[in-house]
Structure 1
């Protein structure tokens, strides 16, 4: 476990919580990233059509499963972000390419978005998707996610979420730019859709919960992200390290909230290598 120094923790006073959690306004051509994701994802699905499985009856209760060409070496689950309010896994299908090429079966779950669903319901739906996918693919399980998906990936390995039979198969969890203490979101306009109460924010904050100690964890964030995302990243690493978890904090220099996930696309990507580590 690398020691987290005080100067890395980006402990800046928050005077505007909406600004602290704003990403797009600080990323040049932010909309262009979303366009490129959508196009790359569609191209990948056309070349490697997934099988869609439903874990519930709701219109967003499904996941796309991409299988490797040969025998699967295990299951990797990528959970999309969008502040629990936006996107679907089909804007991120292309992130399965390098994982699939490495022999992984890759599941990208969808979930009901806020404001239709509260975060506690989204957590439950994600758990159900993970369990369904685990029943289809044998071997070790790796779970990762970006932004809100980073929160959900981490949430899966809090005590009492996954059933023991599934949780015992999880070997690696990686949160990318995740939010792990939801209480600051109570002060944002985002909460008009999330409808978080203090009680729910505390129940759904991994940093305030007991983690399982059976998997390795990575808390990764772009070095050029908003200070609050760096703080959230290091907060989880420090607290869960203190709880006896094998966890590493990563700051990826020169990357921001949108291009950090490109590290999953390349065979030599740092995040890809971490999630695949034995």
Structure 2
């Protein structure tokens, strides 16, 4: 199997190349009309910043959305509009950027996300729900491991990895690994399938029209953790997260429901 081809998404989605600009435009328009604090620094580097979106009333708690991009691309400012659903339900939403490979390793990115969550949790009291897409799905799944010594981990009530990369081993055989620099040791420590089964609810979410490797990745993670897996009809890798814009969508409710 050509794994570069297997993990390529844009080429297999009609109009795939147009999505990044559409996301950026939707996100920018959302920020203009929403109560938010932008570019809050949670670390030392230029990319260690987060945007924090506030509901009009006291927040019920904190949602943290972690973007994807194979740990190589994208940033928080492309996804602001995905805060709409949780905000309408009364939750604050934090969206962090993070340093990218090859400047750092995936392990470093996970450590940055842990710090970002702690920073946001200090600003927004109450329970925490974590959601991330693709590489972001790996990152929020990684947050279930009790190895950060972080007080905020006791506040996490639910994790929803969307189209997650639960097993990093196949990526060692892609051209991306020239920048990811994954090795056997890091695959073992950073692949969610090798982490202890979480003691909190997890719902793995994936689109029915995704590439077969993402369907397989999601199934492997849900089987390993014996957790819920939802296959969203007629959704692909570039629109599977869009229901987060809707306060009443099945995805938003899966994230926020008790």
State the distance in 2 between where 1:226 and 1:269 align: 23
Aligned to 2:176: 190
The structural deviation recorded for 1:119 is: 0.2
The structural deviation recorded for 1:268 is: 2.5
Does residue 21 of structure 1 match 2:2? no
Pairs within 5 Å for 1:53-72:
53-72=40-59
State the distance in 2 between where 1:226 and 1:31 align: 16
State the distance in 1 between where 2:90 and 2:244 align: 14
Pairs within 5 Å for 1:39-188:
39-52=25-38, 53-161=40-148, 163=150, 165-188=151-174
Give the alignment's TM-score, normalised by structure 1.
0.90
In the alignment of these two chains, the number of paired residues is 257
The structural deviation recorded for 1:159 is: 2.8
Matched residue SS, 1:108? strand
State the distance in 1 between where 2:236 and 2:88 align: 26
The gaps in structure 2 that reach 5 residues or longer are none
Aligned to 1:216: 201
Question: Does the Cα contact within 8 Å between 1:127 and 1:162 map onto a contact in 2?
Answer: no
Deviations 1:131-169 (A, max 9, x none): 111111111100000010011010101231362x21111
Matched residue SS, 1:260? coil
Bigger drift between 143-152 and 52-61 goes to 52-61
The structural deviation recorded for 1:49 is: 4.8
State the distance in 1 between where 2:17 and 2:4 align: 19
Question: Does the Cα contact within 8 Å between 1:159 and 1:211 map onto a contact in 2?
Answer: no
Does residue 231 of structure 1 match 2:231? no
State the distance in 1 between where 2:149 and 2:84 align: 27
Matched residue SS, 2:70? coil
Aligned to 1:272: 252
Pairs within 5 Å for 1:250-261:
250-261=230-241
Question: Does the Cα contact within 8 Å between 2:50 and 2:97 map onto a contact in 1?
Answer: yes
The structural deviation recorded for 1:197 is: 0.9
Question: Does the Cα contact within 8 Å between 2:208 and 2:235 map onto a contact in 1?
Answer: yes
Question: Does the Cα contact within 8 Å between 1:181 and 1:232 map onto a contact in 2?
Answer: yes
The structural deviation recorded for 1:273 is: 1.1
State the distance in 2 between where 1:143 and 1:23 align: 24
Matched residue SS, 1:184? helix
Question: Does the Cα contact within 8 Å between 2:163 and 2:207 map onto a contact in 1?
Answer: yes
Question: Does the Cα contact within 8 Å between 2:35 and 2:55 map onto a contact in 1?
Answer: no
The gaps in structure 1 that reach 5 residues or longer are 1-14, 242-246
The structural deviation recorded for 1:266 is: 1.4
Question: Does the Cα contact within 8 Å between 1:222 and 1:254 map onto a contact in 2?
Answer: yes
Question: Does the Cα contact within 8 Å between 1:155 and 1:161 map onto a contact in 2?
Answer: no
